[in-house]
Amino acid sequence: MRGDSGSGETGRSPERAAAIERMDRHGIRPNRRLGQNFLMDASTADRIAALCPAGSEDLVIEIGPGMGALTLPLSRRAGQVLAVEIDRGLIPILREVLEDRTNVTVERADFLRFDLSGWLEPWRAEHPDAQIHVAANVPYYITTPILRHVFSSVTLPRSLVFLVQKEAAARLVAGPGSGAYGPLGASLGVFYILKTCFRVPPHAFLPQPGVDSAVVQAVLREDRETADGIPPEALLSMADAAFSHRRKRLANSLEASGWLEPDQKAALPGVLRRMGLDEKVRAEELSPEQYAVLYHGLTAGK
Ligand code: SAM
C-alpha cells in the first residue's frame, strides 16, 4: 500500500460506509502486499474515468479493479471494459457492484501472467476498428511490468490513465534535467504526451495512504515519426538498461546491463557521435526523442 497511515477512519461518507459494509459482509480486509488502497470517492473516480477518451465502440483494459470504483464510470463511457483482478476474494464484490453492467468482463488473474493477446484476438476480430485504452490504479512497483505486458500484447494503446502515488507520477512525466527522469518517462515520452492531471488526497482511499496520489494521463502522439518501427517494450528495455547505473556513462550502463550485442557495442560510439552527443553522456541527459534516434541507430539493419 502507499505508505499507509492506518485506516484513518475519520468522517464516514455514505460511499465509505457502503464499502466497509460490503467488505465486512464478504470477509475482506485490504491486502497490503497487493497494494490495496481502494478509491472511495465516486466524484474522483468519475474525473479519472473522464480522462480516458474511450468511445462507445472502444475497449478499456482496467488493471486491478479492486471493488470496482473506477470500473463503474469506465463502463459508462466505453463499449467494453476488461477488468483483470488478482485477488480472488474481491471477485464476488466486483460481481455485486457491477451486477447491471453487461459490458464488463471480470477476469481473475495476475495481470502479468494474463494471456492478454489470447483474450484480445477474438475481440479484435469482432471489433476491427475499435480503440484500446488502459486504466489502472496499481502500486507503482508493477507499473513497468504492466506496461511491458500491455505493450507486448496491444502494441500501442490509444491512452493510458494511471493513478499512482505523487512521487511516482512525477517520475512518469519527468523530462531530461529532472532528478525524477527515468526509463518510463524516457520511453513513454516517445509515443505519448504525458501529463499529471490532478492530485488525489489520502482521504479519498480506504485505507488511507500516508502520501498524496496523482493521476497521470498519457495520450498517443499524432507526431510520433521518430518512434516509427520501434516496439515500445524494446525501447522500455533499452531505457531500463540505460538508467540501470545512473552515475555511469550511458555507454557503460548499456554495456554493463548486457543490453548491447557485440556489434551494437562497437557501433555505439559512432551512433552517439552522429547524434552530436559526447561519449561521456549520461542517461538522464537524453530526451525521449534522442532515445528513439539512439534505438534506430543501434538496431539499423537488424
Ligand atoms: N482500482 C481499484 C480502486 O481504484 O479502488 C483498486 C485499486 S488498489 C490500489 C490496486 C488493485 O490492484 C487491488 O485490487 C489489487 O488486488 C490489484 N492488483 C495488484 N496487483 C495486481 C496484479 N498483478 N494483477 C491484477 N491486479 C492486481
Task: Cis check for the bond before 207: say yes or no (omega within 30 of 0).
Answer: yes
* CA 223 – ligand 1 centroid, Å: 33
* CA 83 – ligand 1 centroid, Å: 10
The residue length of the chain stands at: 302
Is the pLDDT at 22 greater than 60, yes or no? yes
* CA 294 – ligand 1 centroid, Å: 35
> Which region among 9-18, 217-226, 238-247, 257-266 has the lowest average model confidence (pLDDT)?
9-18
Is the pLDDT at 140 greater than 90, yes or no? no
Alpha carbons 62 and 49: distance in angstroms, whole number: 11
Residue 8: what pLDDT?
42
Residue type, 130: A
| pLDDT tens digits, one per residue of 179-228 | 999 999 999 999 999 999 999 999 999 999 999 999 999 999 998 888 99
Alpha carbons 122 and 118: distance in angstroms, whole number: 8
Kindly state the DSSP code that residue 208 receives in the 8-state scheme.
P
Portion of the chain with pLDDT greater than 90, in percent: 84
| pLDDT tens digits, one per residue of 32-80 | 999 999 999 999 999 999 999 999 999 999 999 999 999 999 999 999 9
Reported as a pLDDT band with limits 50, 70 and 90, residue 139 is: confident
* Residue keyed to cell 480506504: 206
Q: Please provide the distance, in angstroms rounded to a whole number, between the alpha carbons at the two ends of the chain.
A: 42
pTM value? Answer: 0.92
Substitution site in 86, 150, 161 for ligand 1 pocket (most atoms within 8 Å of beta carbon): 86
| pLDDT tens digits, one per residue of 281-302 | 999 999 999 999 999 999 986 6
User: If DSSP states are collapsed to H, E and C, what string results for 201-266?
Assistant: CHHHEECCECCCEEEEEEEECCCCHHHCCCCHHHHHHHHHHHCCCCCCCHHHHHHHCCCCCHHHHH
Residue 177: what pLDDT?
86
Is the pLDDT at 116 greater than 60, yes or no? yes
Q: Which atom of ligand 1 is nearest to the CA of 138?
A: 10
Q: In what side-by-side order are the strands of the sheet with 192-200?
A: 104-108, 80-85, 59-63, 132-137, 159-165, 213-220, 192-200
Q: What average pLDDT does range 125-147 have in this prediction?
A: 92
| Mean model confidence pLDDT for the chain | 93
